[in-house]
C-alpha cells in the first residue's frame, strides 16, 4: 500500500474542505450570525490538519492501485465528516459531537436523516452548510478534487471507481479529469436551473439554494421541521421533477450533450426507472384516493413521495408514516432499489436490480437446460462475468451488513417498524423511515452507539460497502518495508 | 489531439504511453476485454472493447472527431481495413502498421492511395533503417530523414580534435567541397541558423543537411568514418534482419546471418542470395568463431529472446567486435545490458512509438497549415519543415539570393522530381517542388512565411 499517497490525498481533501467552509462562513457573515466564529475555527483546524497531513506525507511515488483507491475514498469521507462536524459542535448548536458527526455524515452521504428536533433553531450559516454537504457529497468530493487538481496521479480511475456508485464506471472522455469536469458541469448547470425555477416560485434565494442542494445531491435536508410540506405546490412540483432528473445516470446527459439522444432513450436502466416511478405513482394514487379529494393534490403527493424515496432524497410533502400499509410497503420497496447508477441517488441502484433479475432468469434457464449457454446483455452489450458475479456478491454482502446493523441498533427498544426502517433509511441514504423515524420524526432518540453505527451504515451505503470493508482489512495495509531487525 | 489506437499489444501500449505523456486525448480500442481492463487500470485513457473495423465500435470510440487513428493490431489486413473504415467514419489521419514483406513498396503505395492511409509503418524496415544508420554512421547523434530517404539532417558533436574547430562555414565549404549545408548549430543552450561567416567551436552540435551519400563523403573527408564496415554478422533471420541485410549488401558489406531454424535460413537465403546464411546454434561459441566472429566489424543480435541477445552481444564484445548492437524488447533489461557494457541497444517497439509520437506531434503543430512533415531538431529548439510548393507561390522562379528571408531561417534543400538540390544563391523554388526549411524561434505555417 502506498500509504504516503493515501494520506497525501486525504490531506488534500481536508484542505479542500477548509475552502468549502468559506461558503457557509460567507452566509454567516451576511446574516451576522454567531456561528461565523465556529466556521473560522473550523477553517483553521481543517487547514492546519489537511495542510500538515498532505505536506508531511509527500508521496515518493504517485502510482496507486485499486486498494489505494479504496483506502483514499473511505478515509477521505471519514475525515471529511469528522471535520465537517466541527462547526455544529463548536457553535454549541448541536452540543454533542456524536450528534454533530451523525448530522454531517448524513449530509455528505446525502441521507438527510437528522437528530434535530427543530431544524428552525439552527442558524442560517449552519443550515447552509448542512445542505451544502449534500451537494458536495452527491457527485462526490473526490470527483471534485479530480476535476480541479491536475496531475494527482495517472491512475485516478481507481478513486473514481471507488466513489462513483454503480456496478461499473464508464468514462465519458479519455481523461478522468475531463470526465470529472463534465460531470460537475452538468451538475452545476442543473442545480442552477433549479435555483432559478424555485426563485420564480417566490422562494427566497437562501431557501431555494438550500432546497436545490438537497435535490441535486438527492439528500433531503430541509430548513423546516415539516420538510417540504409547507412549500407551495409549484415548488413541490419543481423539486419533484428535478429529483427525477437527478436520479438519472449522468452519463446519459453527456450523451444528450453530444447529440446521441436516441441511445440515451434506449437505455434499459432509464426505462426501468421511469416505469417504476410511473407504476409507484399509480399504486399510491389508487391507495390514497380516499385521503385526497383534489386530483392535483393526490397526484402531487403520490408522485412526490415516490420520487423522493426512489431517488433516496427523503424530502416529504406529507407524513407518509401515517399512510396505509400498502403505500408504505411500496415506498419501502423503492427505498431499496434506489435510482440509476451514476446518479446522485443511493440504494442498491436499478441497474444492479435489473442485472440481478437477468441473472436469476439465466440461472433458471440453466437449470432447465443444463447445457445451455447464457449471456447477459444490457443496452445491447454483453455483461462480463465479473460484473455478473459482482452484482450477486454485492447483494449478499448488502443483506449481511443490513442485518448486522439491524441487530446492533435493535437494543434501543424502538418498535419493529421503526428499527427496520431506520436501518433501511440510513443504509440506503434515504433519510426518513417509518414510525418514530418518519418524515416528521427524527433520530434523536437513539443512543450514541447506535448513532455511530448508523453513521457508518450511511457511509457504507454511499460508498457501496466495498471501500470501507476493504480499508478495514489489515491485508490491504501491508507495506513492503519490513521493520529492521535489531 | 484526439487519437485512437486500435490494438493494445506491445506496440499499442508503448505508443499509448508516450502519446498520453505528450498530453493527447487517447482512446484505446481492443477486442480483448482483459487487455482493455489492464489498460484502463494503468493509463488515464478511454477504453472501448470491440472490433476496430466495426462501425459501431469506431463511432463509440469517437472516430468521427478523431484527428488520428493508429491501427497496430497483429494483422496487416485488419489494420488496413480499420484505417479505411475510420476514414469513412470521419477520422482525420490514419496510420496502419503493415509488416508483411509481400506488400512491397509499389503495392504499399497503391494501398496507401486507394485506402487514403496517411502513413504506413513497418516496424521491421524501420528497425533495419535505424540499425543500418547505427552501423554506418557511428558518431551521429541523430538522423532525421526527409522526402523518402533521399534527404537527411544528421547531427553530431564537434570533438576537440575535429578539423572543423575554429573554421568558419565559408572555409569549411572550400576545404571540404561537397553538396551539403550546415543547417543548425547548437551551442550551449542556444541554437543558431548559421551564415557563412559563422565560426565553429569545440563542443558545438552541428546539423548537416545533405543526401545520405554526400553525408558519407563528408564524414570520410573529415576522418570521422575511419574504418568502413566490411563484415557484419547478424544473429536471427528475422524480417528486420532481411531488410538490414539488403541495406548492408547494397553498401558493399559482407553479411553473415546465423539462425537455428532450417526453414527460416532457407527462406532467407532465397531472398538474399549474396548473404552467407548459416544454420546453427548461435549460443555455441564454436559456431560463431568458425564463421569469423573475431574478424567482424559489426555484430547485430536480433533473436526474439532478449536474454539471448544480451548474452550473445556480450560474447561478441569480449571477442573484440567494434560495433555490437543488441535488440532488446523489454525496457527493464536496457539498464542491465548497459551495465554489461552494451551501449548500443535498439528497441523496435520504442522506435515505432517514437515515429508515431513524432507524427502526432507534427500533426498537432501543423494543424491548419501546409506543412508536409515537421521534425524537431536540437532537442526541440529548432524545426525542420517540409512544404510542398503550390502553383500560385508568389516567389516562384526568383533566385534565392534575391529573396529576403527572415533571420534564423534557411532553405536547406529543394526536392525536385525525387532529386535533391542543396540550394545555392542561383537556385530558385519552382511550383511542385518540395522545400525543406530550417527555422529557429519562428512558427511557420506556410512557405511564404519565411519571407520578410
**Average pLDDT value for chain A:** 89
Q: What is the pLDDT of residues B398-413, one digit of tens each?
A: 888 888 888 888 888 8
For A174, which of B26, B33, B42 is closest by C-beta distance?
A: B26
Q: What is the pLDDT of residue B284?
A: 86
Question: What is the CATH architecture assignment of B231-321?
Answer: 3-Layer(aba) Sandwich (3.40)
Q: What is the pLDDT of residues A289-300, one digit of tens each?
A: 888 889 999 999
Q: Report residue B230 as a C-alpha cell.
A: 566490411
Contact at CB, A155 and B44, closer than 8 angstroms: yes
Domain ranges of chain A: 3-337, 366-477
- The answer to whether A53 touches A72, Cβ cutoff 8 Å, is no
In the predicted model, what is the mean pLDDT of residues B37-66? 89
Residue A234 predicted with pLDDT over 50: yes
- Report the residue of chain A nearest B1, measured CA to CA: A174
Share of chain A above pLDDT 90, in %: 57
Residues of A in contact with B19 (CB under 8 A): none
Q: B404 to chain A nearest CA, in Å?
A: 45
Domain ranges of chain B: 2-121, 127-222, 231-321, 353-450
Q: B62 to chain A nearest CA, in Å?
A: 10
The residues in B 18-77 lying below 8 A from A, measured between CB atoms, are 20, 25-27, 33, 40-47
- The answer to whether A435 touches A402, Cβ cutoff 8 Å, is no
Among B1, B13, B24, B44, pick the best mutation site for testing chain A contact (most A Cβ within 10 A): B44
Residues of B in contact with A266 (CB under 8 A): none
B53 — pLDDT class (breaks 50, 70, 90):
very high
Residue B206 predicted with pLDDT over 60: yes
Q: What is the pLDDT of residue B345?
A: 82
**CATH class held by domain B2-121:** alpha beta
Residues of B in contact with A258 (CB under 8 A): none
- The answer to whether A323 touches A283, Cβ cutoff 8 Å, is no
Residue A47 predicted with pLDDT over 80: yes
Return the CATH superfamily for domain B127-222.
Answer: Regulator of K+ conductance, C-terminal domain (3.30.70.1450)
Q: Report residue B439 as a C-alpha cell.
A: 527555422
Q: What is the pLDDT of residues B407-443, one digit of tens each?
A: 888 888 888 877 778 888 788 888 888 888 888 877 6
**CATH class held by domain B353-450:** alpha beta
∠ Cα B374 B378 B383 (to 5°): 25
Q: What's the rounded Cα separation, in Å, for the pair A120 and A339?
A: 30
Check residue A95 and report its DSSP letter. -
Q: What is the pLDDT of residue A189?
A: 95
Q: Is B451 on the interface with A (CB under 8 A)?
A: no
Give the full edge-to-edge strand order of the sheet including B142-146. Answer: B142-146, B151-157, B205-210, B181-187, B190-192
For B44, which of A66, A156, A384 is closest by C-beta distance?
A: A156
User: In this predicted complex, what is the ipTM?
Assistant: 0.71
In total, chain B counts a number of residues equal to 452
The pTM of this model reads 0.78
In the predicted model, what is the mean pLDDT of residues A262-289? 92
Residues of A in contact with B41 (CB under 8 A): 65-66, 155, 157-158
- Report the residue of chain B nearest A172, measured CA to CA: B46
- The answer to whether B449 touches B442, Cβ cutoff 8 Å, is yes
In the predicted model, what is the mean pLDDT of residues B247-269? 89
Q: What is the pLDDT of residues A357-416, one digit of tens each?
A: 999 998 899 899 888 888 888 887 888 888 888 899 999 999 999 999 999 999 988 999
Residues of A in contact with B40 (CB under 8 A): 157, 171
Q: What is the pLDDT of residue B212?
A: 78
Residue B175 or residue A334, greater confidence: A334
Residues of B in contact with A158 (CB under 8 A): 41
- Report the residue of chain B nearest A159, measured CA to CA: B41
Q: B375 to chain A nearest CA, in Å?
A: 27
Q: What is the pLDDT of residues A318-356, one digit of tens each?
A: 888 889 999 999 999 999 999 999 898 888 999 999 999
Among B18, B36, B39, B46, pick the best mutation site for testing chain A contact (most A Cβ within 10 A): B46
Cβ-based neighbours of A299, under 8 Å, separated by 6 or more: A281, A285
Q: Report residue A328 as a C-alpha cell.
A: 408504505
Q: Say if B127-222 and B353-450 have the same CATH topology.
A: yes
Using alpha carbons, select from B14, B30, B40, B26 the residue that is nearest to residue A158: B40
Share of chain B above pLDDT 90, in %: 17
Residue B225 predicted with pLDDT over 70: no
| Structural element, H or E, at residue A468 | helix A466-472
Amino acid at each position: 500500500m502506498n500509504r504516503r499517497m493515501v494520506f497525501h490525498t486525504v490531506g488534500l481533501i481536508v484542505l479542500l474542505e477548509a475552502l468549502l467552509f468559506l461558503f457557509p462562513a460567507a452566509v454567516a457573515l451576511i446574516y451576522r450570525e454567531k456561528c461565523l466564529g465556529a466556521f473560522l475555527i473550523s477553517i483553521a483546524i481543517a487547514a492546519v490538519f489537511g495542510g500538515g497531513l498532505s505536506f508531511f506525507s509527500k508521496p515518493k511515488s504517485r502510482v496507486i492501485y485499486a486498494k489505494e483507491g479504496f483506502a483514499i475514498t473511505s478515509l477521505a469521507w471519514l475525515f471529511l465528516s469528522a471535520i465537517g462536524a466541527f462547526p455544529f459542535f463548536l457553535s454549541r448548536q448541536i452540543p454533542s459531537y456524536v450528534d454533530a458527526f451523525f448530522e454531517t455524515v448524513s449530509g455528505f452521504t446525502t441521507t438527510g436523516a437528522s437528530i434535530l428536533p427543530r431544524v428552525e433553531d439552527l442558524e442560517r450559516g449552519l443550515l447552509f452548510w448542512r445542505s451544502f454537504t449534500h451537494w458536495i457529497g452527491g457527485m462526490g468530493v473526490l470527483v471534485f478534487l479530480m476535476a480541479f487538481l491536475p496531475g494527482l496521479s495517472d491512475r485516478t480511475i481507481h478513486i473514481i471507481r471507488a466513489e462513483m456508485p454503480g456496478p461499473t464506471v464508464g468514462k465519458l472522455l479519455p481523461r478522468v479529469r475531463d470526465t470529472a469536469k463534465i460531470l460537475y458541469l452538468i451538475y452545476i448547470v442543473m442545480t442552477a436551473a433549479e435555483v432559478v425555477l424555485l426563485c420564480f416560485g417566490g422562494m427566497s434565494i437562501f431557501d431555494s439554494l438550500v432546497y436545490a442542494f438537497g435535490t441535486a445531491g438527492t439528500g433531503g435536508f430541509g430548513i423546516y421541521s415539516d420538510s417540504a410540506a409547507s412549500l407551495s405546490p409549484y415548488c413541490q412540483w419543481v423539486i419533484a421533477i428535478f429529483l427525477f432528473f437527478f436520479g438519472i445516470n449522468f452519463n446519459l446527459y453527456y450523451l444528450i450533450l453530444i447529440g446521441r439522444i436516441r441511445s440515451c432513450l434506449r437505455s434499459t436502466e432509464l426505462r426501468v426507472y421511469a416505469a417504476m416511478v410511473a407504476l409507484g405513482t399509480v399504486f399510491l394514487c389508487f391507495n390514497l384516493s380516499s385521503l385526497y379529494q383534489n386530483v392535483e393534490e393526490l397526484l402531487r403527493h403520490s408522485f412526490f413521495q415516490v420520487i423522493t424515496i426512489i431517488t433516496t432524497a427523503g424530502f416529504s410533502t406529507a407524513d407518509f408514516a401515517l399512510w396505509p400499509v400498502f403505500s408504505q410497503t411500496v415506498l419501502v420497496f423503492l427505498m431499496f432499489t434506489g435510482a440509476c447508477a451514476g446518479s446522485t441517488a443511493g440504494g442498491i441502484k436499478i441497474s444492479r436490480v435489473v442485472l440481478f433479475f437477468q441473472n436469476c432468469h439465466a440461472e433458471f434457464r440453466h437449470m432447465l437446460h443444463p447445457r445451455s449457454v447464457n449471456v447477459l446483455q444490457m443496452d445491447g452489450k454483453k455483461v462480463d462475468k465479473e460484473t455478473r458475479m459482482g452484482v450477486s456478491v454485492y447483494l449478499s454482502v448488502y443483506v449481511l451488513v443490513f442485518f448486522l446493523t439491524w441487530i446492533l441498533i435493535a437494543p434501543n427498544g424502538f418498535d419493529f417498524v421503526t428499527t427496520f426502517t431506520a436501518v433501511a433509511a440510513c443504509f440506503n441514504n434515504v433519510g426518513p423511515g417509518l414510525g418514530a423515524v418518519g418524515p416528521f420524526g427524527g433520530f434523536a432518540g437513539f443512543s450514541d452507539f447506535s448513532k455511530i453505527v448508523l453513521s457508518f451504515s450511511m457511509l457504507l451505503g454511499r460508498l457501496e460497502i466495498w471501500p470501507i470493508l476493504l480499508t478495514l482489512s489489515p491485508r490491504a495495509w501491508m507495506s513492503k518495508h519490513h521493520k529492521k531487525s535489531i | 489531439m484526439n487519437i485512437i489506437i486500435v490494438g493494445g499489444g506491445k506496440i499499442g501500449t508503448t505508443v499509448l504511453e508516450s502519446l498520453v505523456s505528450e498530453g493527447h486525448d487517447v482512446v484505446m480500442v481492443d477486442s480483448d476485454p482483459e487487455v482493455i481492463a489492464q489498460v484502463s487500470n494503468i493509463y488515464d485513457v478511454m477504453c472501448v472493447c470491440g472490433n476496430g473495423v466495426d462501425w459501431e465500435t469506431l463511432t463509440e470510440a469517437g472516430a468521427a472527431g478523431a484527428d488520428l487513428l493508429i491501427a497496430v493490431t497483429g494483422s496487416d489486413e485488419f489494420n488496413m481495413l480499420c484505417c479505411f473504415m475510420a476514414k469513412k467514419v470521419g477520422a482525420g489521419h490514419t496510420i496502419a502498421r503493415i509488416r508483411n514483406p509481400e506488400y512491397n513498396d509499389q503495392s504499399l503505395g497503391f494501398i496507401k492511395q486507394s485506402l487514403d492511409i496517411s502513413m504506413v509503418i513497418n516496424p521491421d524496415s524501420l528497425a533495419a533503417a535505424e540499425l543500418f544508420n547505427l552501423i554506418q554512421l557511428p558518431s551521429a547523434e541523430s538522423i532525421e530523414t526527409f522526402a523518402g530517404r533521399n534527404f537527411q539532417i544528421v547531427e553530431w558533436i564537434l570533438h576537440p580534435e575535429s578539423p572543423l574547430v575554429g573554421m568558419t562555414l565559408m572555409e569549411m565549404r572550400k576545404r571540404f567541397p561537397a553538396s551539403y549545408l550546415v543547417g543548425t548549430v547548437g551551442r550551449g543552450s542556444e541554437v543558431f541558423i548559421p551564415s557563412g561567416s559563422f565560426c565553429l567551436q569545440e563542443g558545438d552540435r552541428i546539423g548537416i543537411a545533405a543526401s545520405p551519400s554526400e553525408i558519407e563523403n563528408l564524414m570520410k573527408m573529415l576522418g570521422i568514418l575511419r574504418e568502413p564496415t566490411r563484415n557484419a554478422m547478424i544473429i536471427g533471420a528475422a524480417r528486420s534482419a532481411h531488410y538490414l541485410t539488403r541495406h548492408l549488401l547494397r553498401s558493399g558489406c559482407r553479411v553473415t546471418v546465423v539462425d537455428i531454424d532450417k526453414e527460416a535460413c532457407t527462406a532467407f537465403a532465397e531472398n538474399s542470395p549474396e548473404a552467407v546464411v548459416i544454420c546453427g546454434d548461435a549460443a555455441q561459441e564454436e559456431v560463431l568463431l568458425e564463421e569469423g566472429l573475431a574478424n567482424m566489424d559489426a555484430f547485430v543480435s536480433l533473436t526474439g529472446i532478449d536474454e539471448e541477445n544480451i548474452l550473445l552481444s556480450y560474447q561478441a564484445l569480449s571477442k573484440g567486435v567494434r560495433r555490437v548492437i543488441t535488440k532488446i524488447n523489454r525496457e527493464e533489461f536496457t539498464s542491465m545490458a548497459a551495465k554489461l557494457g552494451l551501449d548500443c541497444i535498439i528497441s523496435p517497439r520504442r522506435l515505432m512509438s517514437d515515429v508515431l509520437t513524432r507524427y502526432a506531434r507534427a500533426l498537432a503543430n501543423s494543424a491548419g497549415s501546409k506543412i508536409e512533415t515537421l521534425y524537431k531538431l536540437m532537442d526541440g529548439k529548432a524545426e525542420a519543415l517540409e512544404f510542398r510548393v503550390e502553383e500560385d507561390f508568389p516567389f516562384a522562379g526568383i533566385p534565392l539570393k534575391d529573396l529576403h528571408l527572415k533571420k534564423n531561417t534557411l532553405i536547406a534543400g529543394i526536392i525536385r522530381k525525387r532529386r535533391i538540390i542543396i540550394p545555392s544563391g542561383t537556385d530558385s523554388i519552382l511550383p511542385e517542388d518540395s522545400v525543406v526549411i530550417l527555422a529557429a524561434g519562428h512558427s511557420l505555417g506556410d512557405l511564404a512565411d519565411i519571407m520578410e
